[in-house]
Amino acid sequence: MRFLILLKSNLKRLIKNKTTMIATVAIPFSIILALGFLFNNIIGSDSKSVVVNMDKGSYGSEFVKEIQSNTKIEVCDKNEATKKLKNKNISVFYEIPEDFSAKLEKGEKPQIFSYKSENNSEFGNFQLNADSLINHMLLRNEFKNNNKDVSLKALSYEDSNITIKGNDKNSLGDTMVLNLIISFALFSSIGISMELFHLSEQNILVRSFTTANKPGVIIGAVLAAMFIISAVSYSSIYMLSALFNSHNMIAKAPIAILNITCLALVSLSLGILVTRMVKGESYINVALQIIVGVTCFVGGSFMPYELLPKSITAFSKFTPQYWAIQSINTQKPEYALIVLLFSVALFTAGTFKVRKIA
């Protein structure tokens, strides 16, 4: 009962703190909502991609047929596509080269050429989906060479352990919005550390130990309030962003919210650990920015994991961000347990002796 009373008191205190609510809710939501709209409606829009098929074999036609299942494309001849590009009716078109089938039959990965206007730097669903499909076609040929008949559908990561970026029907905008939410959730550890530091600096926690309440109850109520604010805030941001910008994200909401909740625990645990180990407000801030920044980059929440160099992805599995993204993208809730293990390890190290927080 005392725990619930203290929890309610701390929740009221945090909610009334304008700085905390602006940093935890208002700023992340504004940025994610704005960038989500930009990614989904401008950069990552579902406008048709123009494709020119110059292939002399059968794989070019198969490629066009398969990629149409999850990408909007318009097939036309090269002269027509070039005319549209010159007239600025389109900003880019893609050409399947003449040797597309020949290279696939040799086991080589063919290239798809893109013709763009000078100021165009578009990178969207077509590129990701095309690369994924070509990889699947190459892999299927390898199976055929070993007398094994495997369909392209069977090679998708939903039906096997092969995970290739682009087969997911999510837009690039959905991916970037999810990555932003995960990054903000981890960076919230800075606010948690600052809150603990100020409570300690003002001797609020020390004075509370002189009351009839046990230290574990006092600290538990403070930490639980911080966790609830963080988990509820970022889960709400995810749902609101999904409703405003991408209804495709709603289907993944249950597992996404599960992982966001686990990441809130990681953020809380990391904040506690750094507050205990580092002395001085400015040093705590710098330490957490470095730790969270590096793990977000390595874990794939600053940019898609598939775009990172192999030298970096070798360390990705040692970050909670990686497992949260994989859990949401593959819809495997068991991966969230790995995220939870990160929080348990950090929390255990940070709260070995509860009195030392004060």
**Where are the chain's structural domains?**
2-41+171-357, 47-155
Whether residue 237 is predicted with pLDDT greater than 60 in this model: the reply is: yes
Output the pLDDT for position 22.
80
Give 47's contacts (C-beta < 8 A, 6+ positions apart): 72
Whole-number Å distance between alpha carbons of 105 and 114: 23
Q: How far apart are the two ends of the chain, measured CA to CA in Å?
A: 23
Cβ pair 224, 268 in contact under 8 A: no
50, β-bridge pairs: 74, 93
Output the pLDDT for position 163.
39
| Range of weakest confidence among 44-53, 55-64, 229-238, 280-289 | 44-53
Highest mean pLDDT (candidates 16-25, 38-47, 76-85): 76-85
Output the pLDDT for position 156.
61
Output the pLDDT for position 158.
43
Mean pLDDT of 163-169: 40
Q: What is the model's pTM? A: 0.61
Position 67 confidence tier, pLDDT thresholds 50, 70, 90:
confident
| Range of weakest confidence among 118-122, 253-257, 315-319, 335-339 | 118-122
Give the largest CA-CA distance in the chain: 84
Mean pLDDT of 143-169: 58
Mean pLDDT of the chain: 80
Q: What is the second-level CATH architecture of the domain 47-155? A: 3-Layer(aba) Sandwich (3.40)
Mean pLDDT of 74-85: 89
Mean pLDDT of 192-206: 72
Cβ pair 120, 136 in contact under 8 A: no
The DSSP code sequence of 56-90 is SSSHHHHHHHHHTTTS-EEE--HHHHHHHHHTTS-
Query: Which stretches of the chain are assigned E, i.e. beta strand?
Result: 49-53, 73-75, 92-96, 113-116
| Range of weakest confidence among 78-82, 99-103, 106-110, 220-224 | 220-224
2 vs 332, more confident: 332
Cβ pair 263, 339 in contact under 8 A: yes
Whole-number Å distance between alpha carbons of 209 and 89: 70
Output the pLDDT for position 321.
93
Position 290 confidence tier, pLDDT thresholds 50, 70, 90:
very high
Whether residue 66 is predicted with pLDDT greater than 90 in this model: the reply is: no
Whether residue 40 is predicted with pLDDT greater than 70 in this model: the reply is: no
